[in-house]
Structures are given as structure tokens and as C-alpha cells.
Amino acid sequence: APGAQEFVPDTHDLKVLADAARGCRGCDLYQDADQTVFGAGSARARIMFVGEQPGDQEDRAGAPFVGPAGKLLDKALAAADIDRTTTYVTNAVKHFKFTRADGGKRRIHKKPGRTEIVACTPWLTAEIETVRPEVVVCLGATAAQTLLGTSFRLTEHRGEVFDLGTDGALSGVTAPTRVVATIHPSALLRGPSEDRAQGFDALVADLRVAAELI
């Protein structure tokens, strides 16, 4: 597959981008998912959140972060005094990747591979160039490595402020955007419940770092 670039229209109109993304065949993931889950939110957002890829509920709804991880993100945003309606929320990869379990009834999330991430980044680049946020918050290692390079280690550098122009790994981005990486809300949900309160507080602390940049 060719990657998304040939499907990305030359525009800074989010609606036109989202419509075009419905027809993307830049990698194989469009084949089994229900639909493209493009980013959503304010075109004038000063903060953009980037997750990994849509999950089961996002694939059904056609919107990012509406399932369990999205609910936890909403709680963390509220705790950090960030109004989600003023933000833009998207994912590194725009189609749900999964395997089936229980005789096909249950769809289990699979991590996107390097090929799919690289194939899909032209959409993320277009979103960043269109919204031109002051800060991008990477939720989890997949988003962080997409923006900051594959050698980026979340455990060592979460909550630090980077510059997308000088530290970034996305080509074609000219927006003067800073980047903060933090843990993915799903990682808190998967982890041991006794670690959850502390993990949540650390997530909120990183979100505050980002909010203070704007």
C-alpha cells in the first residue's frame, strides 16, 4: 500500500480533510474496520491531543476517544481545568486494528505496526498544519514516537516540553508547536488498580504542564 499521502488533499480545511480521509486506502487497515476515525474538535484549538488509534467504540461511533479511555481522558482534562470542547483530539492511526475473539464476537485491539503508523502520518501532519496548535499532547508511546522519533522513551521524558520544529520527527510541519508526552489513559485502565490513583495524578500533572504553555 502506498501510504496516505496521495489521499490527502492540499487544503487547510478540516472538513475537507476529514471527508477525504473516509476514502483513504493508504494501508490495509481500512479493509476490516467500520470507518475512518478522523480527529475531532475545534479548528482553532490551542491544545491538540494525539492518541494511538481508535478502539472498538470509536470505530463504531466514528469519533475519537469516546470509549473507556475517552471517559478517563475527560476526567483527567476536567482535573487539569482543560475544556475538551476547546481542544482538538485525534490519533496517530485513523483506523481500528483488531483481532477477533470468542468466535468473532469480540474485537480485541492490536497495536499498529511501524508501517501503518508511517502510512498514516500524512493525515496527522495535515491536522497539525491546519489547526496549528500551540501544544500537542502525545497520549502514550505510539503518539510520542510518531512525533518525536522512535528512540523517544516515554518513561524517561514524559512531562517534558519539546519543540516540534527542532526535536520533531514529522516532516513537513512548519507550525511552531511544542510537544508534551504523557501516559495513555488506556495504560492506566490496563494496569493494576492500586496504581491507578497515582497514575491518574501523574497524568493530570503532565496535562497541566501542557496547559501552562498556552
Least separation in angstroms between residue 188's CB and ligand SF4 is 25
CA pair distance 108, 99, nearest whole angstrom:
5
Least separation in angstroms between residue 139's CB and ligand URA is 6
Q: Which residue is nearest to ligand URA (CB)?
A: 51
Least separation in angstroms between residue 30's CB and ligand SF4 is 4
Q: Is 112 in the site for ligand URA (CB under 6 A)?
A: no
Q: Is 65 in the site for ligand URA (CB under 6 A)?
A: yes
Among 24, 52, 95, 179, binds ligand URA (CB under 6 A): 52
Q: Is 126 in the site for ligand URA (CB under 6 A)?
A: no
Contacts 24+ apart (CB under 8 A), 17-21: 17/123, 17/126, 17/127, 17/130, 21/94, 21/123
Site for ligand URA in 13-42 (CB under 6 A): none
With cell 471527508, the residue in question is 19
> Among 57-65, 87-95, 137-145, 170-178, which window interacts with ligand SF4 (CB under 6 A)?
87-95
Collect all residues with Cβ–Cβ distance below 8 Å to 192 and sequence separation of at least 6.
Answer: none
- The secondary structure of 136-174 as a DSSP string is EEEESHHHHHHHH-TT--HHHHTT-EEEHHHH---TT--
Using DSSP, state whether 106 is helix, strand or coil: strand
With cell 508534551, the residue in question is 180
Q: How many CB atoms lie within 10 A of CB 192?
A: 8
Residue with smaller CB distance to ligand SF4, 76 or 124: 124
Least separation in angstroms between residue 144's CB and ligand SF4 is 18
By a kind-dependent CB cut-off of 5 to 8 A, residue 30 interacts, out of ligand URA, ligand SF4, none, with: ligand SF4
CA pair distance 178, 161, nearest whole angstrom:
7
Q: Footprint of ligand SF4 on this chain (CB under 6 A)?
A: 4, 21, 24-27, 29-30, 36, 93-95, 116, 119-120, 123
